Structure 1
Amino acid sequence: MHDIRLVRDDPAAFDAALLKRGAEPASTSLLALDEDRRALQTRAQEGQNRRNEASKAIGKAMAQGDSDTAEALKAEVAQLKDTLPALEAEAKDKADALDAMLAALPNLAAPDVPDGADEEGNVEIARWGTPRSFNFQPKEHADFGPALGLDFETAAAISGARFTFMRGQMARLNRALGAFMLDMQGSAGFTECNPPLLVRDEAAFGTGQLPKFEEDLFRTTDGRYLIPTAEVSLTNAVRDQILAHDQLPMKLTALTPCFRSEAGSAGRDTRGLIRQHQFEKVELVAITAPDRSQQMHEDMTRAAEAVLEALELPYRKMLLCAGDMGFSARKTYDLEVWLPGQDAYREISSISNCGDFQARRMKARFKPLDESGKPGKKTEFVHTLNGSGLAVGRTLVALLENYQQADGSVTIPEALHPYTGGLTKLEPGA
């Protein structure tokens, strides 16, 4: 959500920033609505003030025996009483329309975000690890995974496309991955949470999924939404709150199922685990003071990188261009893991700094310290950040493809051995 004062101060710069995000200029429409809203609010306030003044003057005129003036004032008060509600309603309609228009606009990119319309404009920042050399032709996980416990056919019969049924050793490895990631993020200072999987529309609005991306969500018959990521539940933990300065930074993590309709991905990644309607993810969320958010973004990215390095999975770090970022983000790093079966790097984590964009939608504030080091009276919006640490299914894919053997088995990296109950290798047919 944007501050209308930002548009008023420099409409040309605001429009230029929207164009960088691939959105149409909006300052003219926004400022016209804002002017109408403020004019109506001024008229309504003047009418309320006049009604109060006239009401007081009635008593004074009656006390002075001036019945003509008193009756005229009564008529004026009655007229204002009739006309003010309509004026106030019109002002509210304009305010609601302005809020709706502002809510539909994406966050503006940070100054150091590169220009670009799509993933072709993303910039590689770093690489870690060397892709393994195979003495056989590596396969995609969907080709050898079924022999190890990935059952796509049963899932399709139960639920349709983009679901997976895991059995035995594969299910055990999937569970081990989630627990391993949670422990790593706990060691990085994130507080483990177990949040709701169903949220109200206010929560989905707060993090930016509503109203623009409702088609990507699953909605229940009672009007709640299944979370597309625990970002929604965790970030909304500070909704409508004024936090004390010493409550920040707040770092939260959770391992949850996630549910996405994948409405805009028809025909993409239809094989395997890459793009599912239901999947698990370890989410990272941070709530910070504005002067800490940039460093927090780097720290959160490092926390996600550490998981990949512990599992010895080669990856690269990408800075997304303005046109490829998510709706609520002002700056995003993507981590892309190497998949030898696809001979390509694929996204496994996105870590975004949203600035105060979500906080404005959620009305989440804090009290900064004043010059004396004591909590001040004024409030500011917090900054929010979120990212994956990591997506469990995609990490499972990376393990299967990078650790596959010529006989169809998969060795399990040593870091996971404490979590697998003695299992060190996945064997076909086991």
Structure 2
Amino acid sequence: MKMMKWALLGGAALAVTATAARADDLGALKAQIEALQTRVSQLEAQPQAAMPSGYSLMAIRDGQGTYEGIAPERYGDRVRDDSGFTLSVLPTADAAPVAEVSVSGEIRTALIYSDFDVDNDDNLDVANRGRIFIRGKSDTAVGEVGGYFRLEASGGGNFSDYDESVNMNKAYGWWKFAPEWELMAGYNDNTGALQTSYDWLVTSIPIATVGPSNPNNEQFRLTYASGPLSFAISLEDSDSTAFIDADDDGDLDVIDGVDTSDLPNAQAYLMYSSDTFTAQLVGLLQDDDWGDNFDWAIGGGATIGIADSFTFLAAAVVGEGTSSYANNLAPVSADEEFWGGSIGVIANLSEDTRIELGVGYEDYDLAGETLGFNGGVFWDPVSQVTLGVGATYLDRDDAFDIDDGDIEVLDDSLQVYFGTWLRFP
């Protein structure tokens, strides 16, 4: 009996002790909760970091943003998706969608051998070009609005000593006012550019390309795109050209750096583009204050891809008067008829090695003829670095040009280069 009594008394004492311990734990937990609530109240009372009105978060990431509305660009001018960095402003639930700004850069340097220069002597020189690309977009209540700027400084090679000045090499904006419609305004590749030509699809080599080319131009462009089909029409600044003119006495005068017309020209293209096949038609019509009533051009071309390894390309243009397709030759009379074309193949030998081979021809009634051959090999060990080597040979026949008001006879020429393309950050 005594043993049972002492056991009951011991159990009761243990229960009382445990209850007291739990009461102490609950008291401590209650004190911690009160202290945490006090700290939260203090944090809420502190002033918040300033953010743009309507936004809740800003972020930075590697690579480019999503710019589906950007105008077509030649291969050598395109910014790689993993290049540079992008600043994004993320919205709150009741604000407009995301706004983005992307920044990237490129330094291109080349060792160039040319069998000509201003004194018709062989020349071995180093040329350099630096570029900074800035583009951004923001969705608004009336559609996406975006802009693109390209700053460039370049020199050396066969051009001049290095120029420390920086030019706004491209500058345009776009307004995607409907899902399939876009208005582009600014300074960019002209609308009538042959996007299937060798000159358009070749890497940004530091020497002459072959076949017809195209200029950058001030313009308003309206584009429609739905699936693989797209077309565009634009009003663009008229050609600035140089040509030979006969005065009333029959003497030849050089008219240099004049606008062909006081009115803008009209350009357009129609294009079908899929993963393996692209076909394009282009056209240009321009008033002419110096010759016949109108200058004109019409052209087209196609590319065909075989798997991911080979792309075959061809393009041609015929016209009168306009210098919008001049490359190694240009019109030397106000109404000069011309035609030109190019064919080529681009072969991806491996994931990081690309070969380009092309032939181009330009034929002007007065300025002569040029047959050009180009080839190059390019290696990308990483996306930020490209090494390339290549050459261009131009075979000219009775060819001449107007240079700073003087008539210059053009001889056959050979250029060979080794180049580096370094992209950052």
TM exceeding 0.5: no
Larger relative contact order (Cα-Cα within 8 Å, sequence gap ≥ 6): 1
Which of the pair has more CA radius of gyration? Answer: 2
